[in-house]
Amino acid sequence: MNQLQPLAIGAVLALGVSAYASWIGLARDRAFYPTVLTVIASYYVLFSAMGGSARSMIPEISIALIFIAAASIGFRRSMWLVVAGLAAHAILDAFHGALVRNPGVPEWWPPFCLAYDLTAAAVLAMALRRAPAGPGSAHPPRSMPSSSANAARVVR
């Protein structure tokens, strides 16, 4: 596999998942992207377990908890924190190998995940910028209106 394939696959997959989630209505609920960030944060812990590396488990769990906290706080306060969390996870992907020695991480995973994270962050940021600002923007509702025209929008 050449070095660009994981990047391309990650970006295309993120676009596909985001488009599907918008089309089917999953992205209307503000819990969708925080859940995505929470799942993304858990993969390095999974790789640690798969690689049988007890030594990498504590750092991986600690790092995952930071992103899970960002997803949780972002869900409750501001979806922009979820955008920042996704983008920050992409940065982590770029430097993960230098931070934690985790033998379970596939060689192609960091660039794949980096592209997925950045693309998902960009899609969410665009949706937030298109979302109407209003009196509810300080404490937005748990879901969006159900019309298909608004399916791609996510509340601030």
Examine residue 43 and state whether it is found in any structural domain, yes or no.
yes
**Structural domain range at position 146:** 4-150
Using CA atoms of 98, 103, 106, 110 in order, give the dihedral in degrees to the nearest 10.
Answer: -20
* 8 Å CB contact between 87 and 57: no
Beta carbons of 31 and 75 less than 8 angstroms apart: yes
Are 12 and 6 contacting, i.e. CB atoms less than 8 angstroms apart?
no
Residue 34's pLDDT is 98
Q: What is the pLDDT of residue 137?
A: 46
Q: Among all chains, which residue has been given the structure tokens 């995973």?
A: 109
Residues of the chain whose pLDDT is less than 70? 133-156
Q: Is residue 105 part of a domain?
A: yes
pLDDT of residue 135: 46
Give dist(CA 98, CA 112) in Å, integer: 17
- What is residue 134's predicted lDDT score, i.e. its pLDDT? 54
Is residue 155 in some structural domain? Answer: no
* Cα separation, 131 vs 37, whole angstroms: 20
For position 44, what pLDDT does the model report? Answer: 97
- pLDDT score for 132: 76
Query: Given this model, what pLDDT does residue 93 score?
Result: 98
The C-alpha atoms of residue 111 and residue 9 are separated, in whole angstroms, by 10
Residue 133 in tokens: 């600002």
Q: How many domains, the chain?
A: 1
Q: Is residue 82 part of a domain?
A: yes
- Give exposure, 121-156, as e/b (b: 16+ Cβ within 10 Å): bbbbbebbeebeeeeeeeebeeebeeeeebbbbbbb
pLDDT computed for residue 3 by the predictor? 81
For residue 90, being part of any structural domain is answered with yes
Residue 2's pLDDT is 87
100 lies in a domain?
yes
Q: Is residue 156 part of a domain?
A: no
**What is the C-alpha end-to-end distance of the chain, expressed in Å?**
39
In a domain, 15, yes or no: yes
